[in-house]
Structure 1
Amino acid sequence: MQNQDNFTLQTKNLSIGYFNKKGNHTVAKDLNFSLNKGELVGLVGSNGIGKSTLLRSLCKVQKILSGDIFVNNKNLKSFTFESLAETLSVVLTETPASKNITVGELVALGRQPYTNWLGTLTEDDKQHILQALEATEMSSFKNRKCYELSDGQLQRALIARALAQDTPIIILDEPTTHLDLYHRASILKLLKNLSKTTDKTILFSTHEIDLAIQLCDQMLIMTPEESYFGDPCQLIESGHFSKLFPKNLIDFDGDVGRFKIIN
């Protein structure tokens, strides 16, 4: 039996979606999962299934329809945005508002929840920034402008900003978008290493299902009918990956843990 104190992020009977004049539009319902410290967790599903909606809901950016979200055994509803920023950091698919800042300045933004109203960095803040740059192998890029970075380098800088924020939970929305295979694998391997070396819970959405199966401790599969949570081997044995897409074009081969094209 898992230790309740080890859970950093939990959902109970969670329903997510949108409020509109015609009534609520439910994107997904009955979401129940518990994430642990030091785990890398992959969120997968087809386009439009609700992955980004779920991540926004977990970050309190989007209101939930019903159910509960708990962060460190405390209901998300009771968090202010200021207190949540010390517990949960987010890396979205959007690029920084200004790419004219340096990598060091971008990573320093992660310390905003802790600085005074002048934004003055203490020695402790500077140490967190340096550690984040080192952990993501971005120290040599500290003085480089963000517009000079490749997509993979920029993604590492954004992850460094989240690390500098020093929260027990990091949530990333499709961190490997626009990257080639080598850099997709590199980013996911980085996240895996960070989850183990920092004991943080790292949740990310991805279309790199084959890579996620190899690296993740737990995975959440979202389908139109139901969602499934567990370790990748259990999900393979249960046949849940085969439910991700219509079988007229691709299917999941459980023997090798990969999708294959149907001829």
Structure 2
Amino acid sequence: MHLHIKQANIGYTKTLISNINTGLNLGEVCLLIGNNGVGKTTLIKSILHQIPLLNGEILINGKNVKEFSVKEIAEQVSIVFSKSIIPQNYTVEDLISLGKYIYYPFYFELKKQDRNEVLHIIEELDLLQYKNTLVKNLSDGNLQKAFIGRALAQNSPIIILDEPTTHLDEKNKIVILKTLRRLAKEQNKLLLFSSHDWRLAKEFADKIWYVKDSHLYSGIVEDVLLQHDELTNPSLFQINEKFVSPTIIAPDFYKEMLYSLLQKNFQKDLSDLKFEFKINIWEISLNNKSHNCESFEEILKTIQNIH
């Protein structure tokens, strides 16, 4: 695990989340979810070592965060908060370029390679037409993309976003999260983002960290959601045009869960597969052979082995 939390209690004088044992690998996208005041932001600040743990340890690439300098933390983790100070006289290019200055004294000129990387990020986020626009004049959606661009420019293996879709409409939420998921996979980044909207997990996340009653529940999104009825309110987005669905025989909610899982993880034709839900067991059929799975995590591993 690239990010590993071991037997950790987090909080200030009072424990907000106790005995956290979880972790994430590079290339994974994780949604951190829970009600206001349960400790989501406190957990993020603990990972950044801005708040000391009450117990346990947090490791990044095998090293305890307590042993990192501020500069080393910035090299390992980039952060985007929901509320950020908007520089009044900075253009989009200026703001995104700030991510590179963790490697230089601020008065240094960026190298040509750095400027090329900044330009590539601007293009990736579809901000080229706003390259020279003052960030104070951007829409909420484009402003959030610019701050995400600054985080990407840091070139850190971990990107954490605290409520990145707050104040955004549904269209911009989907655009930003699709872009982030693609970049996480293509660039092998570990992406952790918090939100109040659990539906985003079904379509965009691999793992979920759900904080409830001072405990953090973690695992494959679909497995965690099915274990907590209060989270589930079925809704389906179509986000993967290359995905061809297999035959799925199951109750509507389980069918939606499986559909979401498959289209997130497979950009190919799965129509030769048949899935049937039978008393808490998924039966997968291919070429007259069948495989039984008890969880969505097992389904992913099985498809990767047989298809």
- TM-score, normalised relative to structure 2: 0.74
Offset at residue 13 of structure 1 (A): 0.8
Shift of the 103–117 alpha-carbon distance from structure 1 to 2, 3 Å rule, reads closer
Are residues 1:118 and 2:107 paired?
A: yes
Q: Deviations over 1:45-91 (max 9, x none)?
A: 11111111111111122222111000111110110001111111010
Aligned to 1:36: 25
Corresponding residue to 1:80 among 44, 60, 69: 69
* Higher mean C-alpha deviation, range 205-214 or range 151-160: 205-214
List aligned pairs for 1:1-263, cutoff 5 A: 7-18=1-12, 24-116=13-105, 118-237=107-226, 239-240=227-228, 242=229, 252=233, 255=254, 256=256
Offset at residue 243 of structure 1 (A): 5.2
Q: CA–CA distance in 1 between the matches of 2:171 and 2:162?
A: 19
Q: CA–CA distance in 2 between the matches of 1:109 and 1:62?
A: 25
Q: Is the 8 A contact 1:111 1:165 kept in 2?
A: yes
Q: Is the 8 A contact 1:38 1:196 kept in 2?
A: yes
* Higher mean C-alpha deviation, range 123-132 or range 174-183: 123-132
* Higher mean C-alpha deviation, range 111-120 or range 78-87: 111-120
The count of aligned residue pairs is: 238
RMSD of aligned alpha carbons: 1.6
Q: Deviations over 1:180-205 (max 9, x none)?
A: 11111111111111111111001000
Q: CA–CA distance in 2 between the matches of 1:225 and 1:72?
A: 26
Identity of counterpart residues, as a percentage? 37
Q: Is the 8 A contact 1:16 1:65 kept in 2?
A: yes
Q: CA–CA distance in 2 between the matches of 1:132 and 1:65?
A: 38
Q: CA–CA distance in 1 between the matches of 2:11 and 2:51?
A: 9
Q: Deviations over 1:138-164 (max 9, x none)?
A: 122110001110110001001110111
Kindly provide the amino acid, as one letter, of the partner of residue 43 in structure 1. L
Choose 1 or 2 for highest CA Rg: 2
SS in 1 for 2:103: coil
Q: CA–CA distance in 2 between the matches of 1:205 and 1:146?
A: 24
Could you tell me which runs of 5 or more consecutive residues in structure 1 were left unpaired when the two chains were aligned: 1-6, 19-23, 245-250, 258-263
- TM-score, normalised relative to structure 1: 0.86
SS in 1 for 2:20: strand
